[in-house]
Structure 1
Amino acid sequence: MLALLTIVPGPDMAVVTKRAIASGRAEALRTAAGITTGLLVWGVFTVVGLAAVLAASAEAYFVVKILGAAYLAYLGVQALWQSRKGAPRAEEPRKGDRSPYVSGLVTNVLNPKIAVFYTGLLPTLAPDGLSTAAGMGLLVGLHAVLTMGWLGGYVHVVSRARSVFERPRVRRALDRVTGVVLIGFGVRVATDAG
């Protein structure tokens, strides 16, 4: 079940794709690391009970949902704007630039569906014989490892084809598709009944 959740395309994959094409492998891997850290943040929230509060509180869930939707829409509009300006070659990442990591982290921390998954389904998968906290911690750690492995492999594949993606027409088309997909995920998150 964790493996299936990990490989199903969603906002995380769209953000990583955008970063891999725009900035290359290193920055895309930093984005994936931010996404994985976001899972660990939700894992800690789950173990200490905060995610359950979010999952049970319609108001708290709504706030996180709207913030997440707005952030995805912002990333989508940003991609569409970049496609309008053309496809300049990406700059080398600056030393100490944390924006790829932060982008991945924010994308995942503002995803209330992780809270619902971690509080609703994850406890049913916890191994018998362990305390609830230990079982949940084990599953969250496993999910983080699977996510980083999957996204890392995906980044490798996309990065190897980057020369194709850097062609101006292809880049503009991909920026437009990615922008529409991210905005679509934002709308989906915002309108989801939860």
Structure 2
Amino acid sequence: MNFLGISDFGLFCAAVLLLNATPGPDTAYIVGRSIAQGRAAGIMSALGISVGCCVHALASALGLSAILAASSTAFLVIKLAGGAYLIYLGIRMLMVKPAADAGVDAASAAALRDQRAPATIFWQAMITNVLNPKVILFFLAFIPQFVQGESSQKTIAFLVLGLAFAAISMCWNSGTALLAGTLARRAGRNPHVRLWLERGVGAAFVALGAKLMLTKN
């Protein structure tokens, strides 16, 4: 495929598949959600992360990502914000109450329903992806390799490749979410087991957030 300023599209797709097969923060996030809150939550997380990739592709096409990467201050702010948001999500999962307790307290029950709402899970996943500075650098380093340097359609090429990346990732991550959610469902039929699974995933999110904040540029 050598049109719209794109070169080696087949190689691009193969590389994206291999990248998705290599576990990373996004995979950890999707698996964590699937284990803690079920397959539907995992799929909504995969969708949110894929939309986040589209945002990165658009930002790269418009040159915004390059500006952020060049500014150490802006990059630091995004890194701290992304890490802090992951820690916030993790703490919320750590503080989740048992179903019996949540049933007594109407406010707690409402908060728990909101935390597990598909729309909430989608937006949380998208924000974690958008605020991950490593994804910004990845898109700046990876996608340009498949954009023809002499093309006058570089912006369109970035967008098409970004959408392809998001679509392939969505398919792979959805399968990962279904598998992890199914295994967790069998292991966590007991409400108390499910509760501690959710808290364990919350602790993992806190660790991921702290690692992101402490990682050097």
Q: Which residue, 11, 19, 44 being the options, matches 2:58?
A: 44
Which residue pairs with 2:75 in the alignment? 61
Over the aligned positions, Cα root-mean-square deviation in angstroms equals 2.8
- Given that 2:61 and 2:158 are in contact with CA atoms closer than 8 Å, whether structure 1 keeps it comes out as yes
Which residue pairs with 2:172 in the alignment? 150
Moved more, 66-75 or 171-180: 171-180
Q: Which one-letter code corresponds to 1:141 in the other structure?
A: L
Tell me the TM-score normalised to structure 2 length.
0.75
Which residue pairs with 2:181 in the alignment? 159
Moved more, 138-147 or 3-12: 3-12
Moved more, 177-186 or 22-31: 22-31
Q: Deviations over 1:154-182 (max 9, x none)?
A: 12112322132232453244224312221
Q: Secondary structure at the match of 2:47?
A: helix
1:20 to 1:92, Cα distance in 2 relative to 1, 3 A: farther
Give me the whole-angstrom Cα distance separating, in 1, the residues matched to 2:118 and 2:196: 27
Q: Secondary structure at the match of 2:95?
A: helix
- Given that 1:11 and 1:107 are in contact with CA atoms closer than 8 Å, whether structure 2 keeps it comes out as no
- Given that 2:34 and 2:180 are in contact with CA atoms closer than 8 Å, whether structure 1 keeps it comes out as yes
Give me the whole-angstrom Cα distance separating, in 2, the residues matched to 1:21 and 1:33: 17
Give me the whole-angstrom Cα distance separating, in 1, the residues matched to 2:53 and 2:172: 14
- Given that 1:10 and 1:185 are in contact with CA atoms closer than 8 Å, whether structure 2 keeps it comes out as no
**TM superposition shift of 1:139:** 2.2
**TM superposition shift of 1:25:** 2.6
Which residue pairs with 1:20 in the alignment? 34
Give me the whole-angstrom Cα distance separating, in 1, the residues matched to 2:70 and 2:180: 39
**TM superposition shift of 1:4:** 3.3
Long gaps (5+) in structure 1? none
Give the number of equivalent residue pairs: 191
**TM superposition shift of 1:97:** 5.5
1:51 to 1:44, Cα distance in 2 relative to 1, 3 A: same
- Given that 1:11 and 1:182 are in contact with CA atoms closer than 8 Å, whether structure 2 keeps it comes out as no
- The share of aligned pairs that are identical, in percent, is 32
Give me the whole-angstrom Cα distance separating, in 1, the residues matched to 2:138 and 2:128: 16
Q: Which residue, 180, 189, 204 being the options, matches 1:181?
A: 204
Long gaps (5+) in structure 2? 1-14, 103-108
**TM superposition shift of 1:192:** 1.1
Q: Which residue, 85, 89, 97 being the options, matches 1:71?
A: 85
Give me the whole-angstrom Cα distance separating, in 1, the residues matched to 2:130 and 2:74: 13
Tell me the TM-score normalised to structure 1 length.
0.83
Larger Rg, first or second structure (1 or 2): 2
